[in-house]
Structure 1
Amino acid sequence: MRDVVVVGSGGGGPVVAKELAARGLDVLVLEAGARHLRPEQEWTRLEDDANNPITGVLRVGPSDRGQAPWFRDYPQNSFVWQISGVGGTTLHYFGNCPRPPAGAFAGYSGPDAGNYDTAHLFPFSYEEFRPYLEWVEQTLPVQTAPMGRKEAAFFRGAEALGLEHQTWKDVRGPAYRAQENCILQPQGTAGRTSDPKNLLYPQAQGCTFCGHCYQGCLEPRKAPRNLKARRSSDNSYVPMMLTADAWSQGGRAAELITDAYVVKVLTERGRAKGVVYREPDGSKHTVEAKVVVLAGGCIENPRLWFNSGLPNPNDWVGRGLTEHHLDWVFGVMDDDIGASKGAGSNVRMDFPGYGGVENVCLPPALQSFAMTFSDSGINGVYDNDSGVGPQGADTLGRLVGPDLVSALSNVDNILTALVVTDDDVQKQNRVTRSVIIPPDDHGPVPRVEIKHRARTPRTRRNRDFLAAKAVEMVRAAGARSVHRMDWAPLLLHVQSSMRMGDNPLNSVLDPNCESRAVPGLFIADNSALANSAGGANPTLTAQALATRTAEKIFQSHFGGTPWVTTESPTTSIDDRVTQAVIARDL
């Protein structure tokens, strides 16, 4: 009998595992995908090799890339871009860690309070939540991003909009700022040379400006895993959970098993009592635990719930999926702004109640994908009747032919702006089980339904407002042409499919993230978020919520006391963690 079994090792699961293992609990983490223990040998910088959803190393599928990916049913034109394996989808995030606006939480009474999804607020105040954000910020650690030429261009455009320059962490009003991100800043030779011989640890430390944030982080080469630059959970929380006995007095190292696909949650007299997992050879194993924590993500958590036959009394399991209704605006500059160099997303504009706009720069193949992915057809050729306008841009929809060649002639001359919308939670957007695609070895596969053209008026308003601000910013920065893509539903930020709340009629989880229907069963990832976090990139909010959830588990099921407001966190780059990682070859 384990104390806690955690299902999934993406952004949230390792947070719970690390915190509970540090307090001496017996924690087992089960991950369906692979563990990339030697990324310098296992990963390449070839974009198709990394990101191909069928054969890429960063896909949703088994560790054996010769096998097919795990299928999902998309009845609409959409795609959920996630990753299986240790680190999960944090393997391709940019490390952006903005705090959510206070208006997404209960008790907010600011002048813009009515601009949020007030029917689906977090069931506690932002003031109560702030210490958990601070705990994660210190653990990762989170720092204010450094500036370069692309960031200076973005700032130039944002300043021309008359926005305030924000130099604090909490979101207080419309402003532009450097990102708060979890990328270790360059030291030594890092950032000072492109010669790979001079970019090896320990001469180089932190970000080496390779420009490949989206494809896992293996820089600087030869650095211990917990000192890789970008703080995806495989580089931060996973090393900490596996060495908890070395850096925490009374701690106990968590155990991690990979290629272990959980196919059923077990219950006894209505309470969670463990899980069954399947190995690639077909063998199944049962693990009993006092507490079960699901952290498999917004798609897999509902699937596992349904496949386990767990109760769904209010019909909200899998419902309320939000995904920030993303859009993409880019401008072609006359000058080289170094768009493909350094961390990809170091600056942003915040518009509380609407969402945000952030610079996201990519290597060439991914940049061309972003510039040709549209719900509005081909500019000047045909329109898909998407119902959106260019919002002042020169073109709307995909560029093709000479126009595309011209825009992509120098990727370092492109200033981009990703629109990240504060979506409304809508019951119609949901994850169920497919009746079209046959079950796989793990049971019925998930069906992801997004009513792309049936957004609420507020969500559509937010997207158009932010797109107009992005166009204005890029043009003010000096772009000679500006283009709005009207992205089709590319689901990069997914949240809320197993949402928490204070209303039992429209939430799965109570305010402690414990299932109301199945005591002893918790959820600790983006799917537990009450709403779309006010349009903030969701990882920091989800990890802070997972920290809070771990504390609640420790108190309610193991007789422990809270620690976030009484202790100081150990950072993931602490020397004790580093020495344990090296000694255990982690």
Structure 2
Amino acid sequence: MSTPKVDADVIIIGSGVMGGLIACQMAKAGKSVIILEAGPRVSRQEIVERFRNSPFKMSLTNIKLQGVGSPYPNPPHIPSTYGDYLQQVGPVKYPTKYLRVVGGTTWHFGSALWRMIPNDFKLNSLYGRGRDWPFGYDELESWYGKAEHELGVSGVDGQDESGQGGNAWPPRSTPFPMPGLPTSYLFDRLTTMLGRGGYNPVLEPNGRATKPWGKRPMCGGNNNCNPVCPIAAKYDGSMHIDEAERLGARLLDNAVVYHIEAADDGRITGIWYKKPDGSEHHLTANYFVLAAYGIESPKLLLMSTSEKYPNGIANSSGEVGRNLMGHTGISMNVMMSEDVWPGQGPTELLVYLNNRDGAFRKDFPSYKIKVRNTVPTADYAASLIEKGVLGSKLDAEIRRQSARSLNFAIDFETLPLAENRVTPSKTKKDALGIPLPEIYYSVTDYWHAGKEEGIKDFHKFAELLNAEIMSIDTKFQDRQHIMGTTIMGDDPHNSVVDSHCRTHDHPNMWIAGTSVMPSASCMNPTLTGAALSLRLADHMLQTMSAS
């Protein structure tokens, strides 16, 4: 009996960093690969020019201006997350921002690429909170190293990333591919002043090249990493998509997947997608990877209903879309009593991790405090003009605020709660007739306990810095770190994928990305997602060889 002809060995849905990494591994192994991306291909020149010519620049402190200033496309078939695309129905808003373009959200991410630490994998067994992973840090350690090489990470070897100022942590078998970026005057001054209170500086591992790396030049210190690195020194997912295409993979952009087909025996057989003109198209493959990030992936699975699968694909557990996590945070603006000159170098690099781990996690979550190294001059000017400050006084005040205004932000770990979820809207649809994502999100007393601890740190910071607190915002700020909606576990009854990210229900489909993570830690999840994706690709190739 002949095997039915398929369009590709592997179909990958999503062209972000995870989809690109897996596509490269598949193509290197000689597999035929089709990558589908809902959005268009964009060029760096186009995005940089649109950003530079915008009357409003991106602002990390003003979400309204950030939305207005976004230089990325917003065509009708993929409404921008900077608008009202995400339908909020919970008590706490989850206004996350992600990009539906070739290369995905890493185009405008802050470039933080952290490893989790060993205790992050054992949150429940150690602290009675959340879930444990089905494996520990040791299992992922070598994949972290491979991911750091693939993404070209720069960092400080021998640094204690626990924030305690001790020996190197977490354990590493390989050094960083590149040395860390040099510190600025601001970072050195804060290190001295906050160090008097026992706050140990940690320099953030990141995806900026500190020497020529592949086709990437050395970081030139541009301060608009968000929304776009103008010289491509910062990693973004389009780089792996380009490499996958050079290796023979085929990319279909503006292809919005809206249905996944599965046979009665559980095998995924094909996908349906729409083009911007509404036309419908069908593709088949032997193996499938869903890498559409933590909102679109569960939405697609839940939309893919049929008589055999009335609750959607990969959802026999009922867990698809549930356990939505993020780093819901707070922030503080202060006015220093001396010039410290923020804005030199990349947007974020210095963090404080005194509460990254410890027995306190039984009572309140881990968190990190980061220094936002930005100078939102447009915000300052608009506020001053609104107050009637003009002329030479306006110029002098802009200069003062630019030299002395600082913003500190806290990212709190959140827990996987079944009620926090993503579902397809039953009433709202986009231009193609596809349901919008509906999000229910909340936080518990555990998060609020962390907030109270964080506010204490804010006040200590202000005292040590001899700074005036201008404002503290505790209104559940979103950090754009989506996790947990297709959660990993050994038990098919309470998880969506197994320890290799293969769906429990479908032997030929894997889910890639941060949506599989059982815990959030307090650190940016991109590197963990990348390590999991490389491990997934290895397991997938072994499975293909054995079949």
Range of TM-score over shorter length? 0.7 to 0.9
1-structure distance, mates of 2:378, 2:494: 38
2:453 is the alignment partner of 1:465: yes
Q: Compare 334-343 and 295-304 and name the one that shifted more.
A: 334-343
> Map of 1:313-462 to 2, 5 A cutoff?
313-350=316-353, 351-353=355-357, 354-364=366-376, 410-438=401-429, 440-451=431-442, 455-462=443-450
Mark the CA change 1:439 to 1:343 in structure 2 (over 3 Å): closer, same or farther. Answer: closer
> Map of 1:208-287 to 2, 5 A cutoff?
208-219=220-231, 228-234=232-238, 236-243=239-246, 252-269=247-264, 270-287=266-283
1-structure distance, mates of 2:15, 2:82: 21
Contact map agreement 1:10 1:90 (CA 8 A) in 2: yes
Residue number in structure 2 paired with 1:223 = none
Residue number in structure 2 paired with 1:39 = 45
2:197 is the alignment partner of 1:176: no
Residue number in structure 1 paired with 2:182 = 146
2-structure distance, mates of 1:352, 1:273: 44
What's the offset of the Cα at 1:179?
0.8
2-structure distance, mates of 1:4, 1:365: 47
Q: Secondary structure at the match of 1:12?
A: helix
What's the offset of the Cα at 1:8?
0.9
2-structure distance, mates of 1:79, 1:338: 31
Amino acid at match of 2:356: P
2-structure distance, mates of 1:296, 1:501: 20
1-structure distance, mates of 2:55, 2:415: 33
What's the offset of the Cα at 1:60?
6.3
Q: Secondary structure at the match of 1:180?
A: coil
Q: Compare 144-153 and 272-281 and name the one that shifted more.
A: 144-153
2:299 is the alignment partner of 1:303: yes
What's the offset of the Cα at 1:67?
13
Amino acid at match of 1:130: E
2-structure distance, mates of 1:68, 1:96: 21
Mark the CA change 1:367 to 1:31 in structure 2 (over 3 Å): closer, same or farther. Answer: farther
Mark the CA change 1:412 to 1:504 in structure 2 (over 3 Å): closer, same or farther. Answer: farther
Mark the CA change 1:13 to 1:412 in structure 2 (over 3 Å): closer, same or farther. Answer: farther
Residue number in structure 2 paired with 1:23 = 29
What's the offset of the Cα at 1:56?
3.8
1-structure distance, mates of 2:474, 2:448: 12
2-structure distance, mates of 1:450, 1:68: 18
1-structure distance, mates of 2:33, 2:267: 19
Contact map agreement 2:462 2:468 (CA 8 A) in 1: no
Mark the CA change 1:334 to 1:457 in structure 2 (over 3 Å): closer, same or farther. Answer: same
Contact map agreement 1:33 1:62 (CA 8 A) in 2: no
Contact map agreement 1:55 1:69 (CA 8 A) in 2: no
Amino acid at match of 1:278: K
Residue number in structure 1 paired with 2:14 = 8
Contact map agreement 2:380 2:398 (CA 8 A) in 1: no
Q: Secondary structure at the match of 1:44?
A: helix
What's the offset of the Cα at 1:557?
2.6
Identity score, percent: 23
2-structure distance, mates of 1:54, 1:62: 17
What's the offset of the Cα at 1:482?
5.4
Q: Which runs of 5+ in 2 are unaligned?
A: 1-5, 59-64, 156-180, 306-311, 358-365
Contact map agreement 2:21 2:533 (CA 8 A) in 1: yes
**Once the two structures are superposed, what CA deviation does each residue of 1:397-429 show, in whole Å capped at 9, x if it has no partner?**
xxx9699x9799523422222211111111111
Mark the CA change 1:60 to 1:131 in structure 2 (over 3 Å): closer, same or farther. Answer: farther
Residue number in structure 1 paired with 2:485 = 497
Residue number in structure 2 paired with 1:185 = 210
What is the TM-score when the length of structure 2 is the normalising length? 0.79
2:105 is the alignment partner of 1:101: no
Q: Compare 153-162 and 489-498 and name the one that shifted more.
A: 153-162
What's the offset of the Cα at 1:96?
0.7
Amino acid at match of 2:188: A
**Once the two structures are superposed, what CA deviation does each residue of 1:154-191 show, in whole Å capped at 9, x if it has no partner?**
3234422324xxxxxxxxxxx5311111111278xxxx
Q: Which runs of 5+ in 1 are unaligned?
A: 164-174, 188-201, 220-227, 244-251, 373-399, 561-586
Q: Compare 30-39 and 535-544 and name the one that shifted more.
A: 30-39
2-structure distance, mates of 1:491, 1:297: 15
**Once the two structures are superposed, what CA deviation does each residue of 1:481-501 show, in whole Å capped at 9, x if it has no partner?**
353211334351111111112
2-structure distance, mates of 1:445, 1:461: 33
1-structure distance, mates of 2:74, 2:421: 19
Aligned length: 479
Q: 2:104 aligns with which of 88, 94, 104?
A: 88
Residue number in structure 2 paired with 1:290 = 286
Amino acid at match of 2:40: A
Mark the CA change 1:152 to 1:66 in structure 2 (over 3 Å): closer, same or farther. Answer: closer
Residue number in structure 2 paired with 1:129 = 140
Contact map agreement 1:47 1:366 (CA 8 A) in 2: no
Q: 1:556 aligns with which of 527, 530, 543?
A: 543
RMSD over equivalenced CA pairs, Å: 3.3
What's the offset of the Cα at 1:44?
2.4
Mark the CA change 1:304 to 1:206 in structure 2 (over 3 Å): closer, same or farther. Answer: same
2:533 is the alignment partner of 1:515: no
Mark the CA change 1:367 to 1:114 in structure 2 (over 3 Å): closer, same or farther. Answer: farther
Contact map agreement 1:357 1:470 (CA 8 A) in 2: no
Amino acid at match of 1:177: V
